[in-house]
Amino acid sequence: MEKEDEFLFNYFTYISQLSFDKAKEHVLQEKERVPKTPVGPRTMFLNFLQQLALAEKSYMELGFLQNKQKSFLRKDNSLRAVFEYMKNDLKKIEDGCKNSKTELQGYCQNITQFVYARISLIDLYEKLYNMAMSNKHIVYIDLINQVETITQNNNYTFTNICMTPIRVVFSFECEVLQQLFKAMYELQRLQFLPSLALIHGAHTRLIAWEGKMQRETWKLGFLKNNPLPALFLWLQKLRGAILSKFSLYFHDTLANQTTPTDMRHLCSKLQHDYYQKMVSFQRKHDAACVILLSDFKVDSYIADYDSFPIIVSYPPRSPPQLETILRMISETVDFPILNKPITKFSSQDQCTYCFAMVEPNIYLVILFESKKSDKDSYIGNFINEFCTNLRCTKIYVSLKNSAK
């Protein structure tokens, strides 16, 4: 490896390991070797690398969805804008070395491609955040297609050997996102094995990615381990939430493979123990049952009740009022507001039915064998929290870290 290639390879190795201070020190040492001449392309390039290290650090700490500040006197200082400015800086450096025999031109072209890739991922996260904030269901197929487009567009870009370290972690990030979004899509379709394989795939890639990190330490006495970066922790949290969702959607299938005691123990370790939440609510508020069911009807004007399988129920049985529940869901043409339960009282059987759409064709239903008001806050609060967590809405919204 040539000396110039080795310098840049080591720089991107530090960046990929989250050793941003080492990356900046590495550049400073190189600047000391550069002759003290008027600022030329080489010096401009080294200055750029220092700025890139700062931008990468901000990216890994979820700095890409902060409030954009614009005015007549102030430029857009969002991280996306910073990367856009970087593209312009690289173009100037590239233009400055066109007439000289230098490898800088090739470096600039490769790094420009990487910057484009970063911007495309920022756009993806922003789209996900906006979807969650819109209080509408997440269209996972759109997100899957966007990740696949990003991956395909960058299969043959920033391929210079110097950029191998950062290319590897970029691939890990795209693969984890793709696996998690696909898992959510397959969960909506109640596909057991595909969901399980995708969740496991994301887990193995996260482990491999973490293995590439050599985090810088803080000198805080016994607190020497620097925590993992916010973006990585966010992906871990999303994976944990999806695993929790999987454990609920396939609770009965999983429970048949172990003892009740072991099943409770395993679920208690999850990010959300949804089944236990259903049990606790049913017992505390004397509900007849709490049910999660799905509707995968083919286009038809007549409801086929066999197409409404119960996903999971507590108590674990089909209630005698199931036909009434299915009819009420079929008659509810629109669920306009997420998290807001629909409450219906049947004078015929003296039962109150509370239900909400968790996501397209999946419903949470609570049955009371007495009259309840739609103003009973404990019902609304339970449904709101339960459904919001299943949709991972809070995790998506947390992409915008207002503390930074």
Task: Please say if the pLDDT value at position 301 is more than 50.
Answer: no
Shared domain for 164 and 71, answered yes or no, is yes
Task: Please check whether residues 308 and 383 belong to one and the same domain.
Answer: yes
Give the pLDDT confidence score for residue 296 in this predicted structure.
Answer: 65
For residue 401, tell me if it sits in a domain: no
Q: Is the pLDDT of residue 403 over 50?
A: no
Domain tally, the chain: 2
Are 297 and 203 within one domain? no
Long-range CB contact pairs, 201-205, < 8 A, 24+: 201/175, 202/175, 202/176, 202/235, 202/239, 202/242, 203/239, 205/172, 205/175, 205/176, 205/179
**Does residue 228 sit in the same domain as residue 305?**
no
Residues 321 and 356 in one domain: yes
Give residue 207's domain range. Answer: 3-215+223-247
Q: What percent of the chain has pLDDT over 70?
A: 87
The tokens for 293 are 């069911």
Least confidently predicted of 63-67, 231-235, 260-264: 63-67
pLDDT of residue 155: 87
Of the ranges 131-140, 197-206, 325-334, 366-375, which is most confident? Answer: 197-206
Listed range (84-88, 246-250, 399-403) with the worst mean pLDDT: 399-403
Query: pLDDT by residue (tens digit) across 179-188?
Result: 999 999 999 9
Q: Same domain for 189 and 136?
A: yes
Residue 304 inside a domain? The answer is yes
Tell me the pLDDT tens digit for each residue of 331-387.
876 665 566 788 999 999 999 999 999 988 899 999 999 999 877 889 999 999 999
Average model confidence (pLDDT) for the chain?
88
pLDDT band at 221 (very low <50, low <70, confident <90, very high): very low
Would 382 be classed as within a structural domain?
A: yes
Q: What is the mean pLDDT of residues 76-97?
A: 90
Does the residue 400 lie in any domain? no
Q: Considering the domain boundaries, does residue 119 fall inside one?
A: yes
Instruction: Specify the pairing of strand 342-346 against strand 310-314.
Output: unpaired
Q: Are residues 242 and 277 in the same domain?
A: no
* Same domain flag for 235 and 279: no
For 152-172, give one letter per residue: b (16+ CB within 10 A) or e.
eebeebbebebbebbbebbeb
Q: Which of 103-117, 127-141, 202-216, 323-337 has the lowest mean pLDDT?
A: 323-337
The pTM assigned to this predicted structure is: 0.91
| Section 30-51 average pLDDT | 85
pLDDT at position 215, please? Answer: 59
Q: What is the CATH number of the domain that holds 65?
A: 1.10.3450.30
Query: Does 285 fall in a domain?
Result: yes
Co-location of 207 and 347 in the same domain: no
Q: Rounded mean pLDDT of 313-318?
A: 92
pLDDT of residue 292: 95
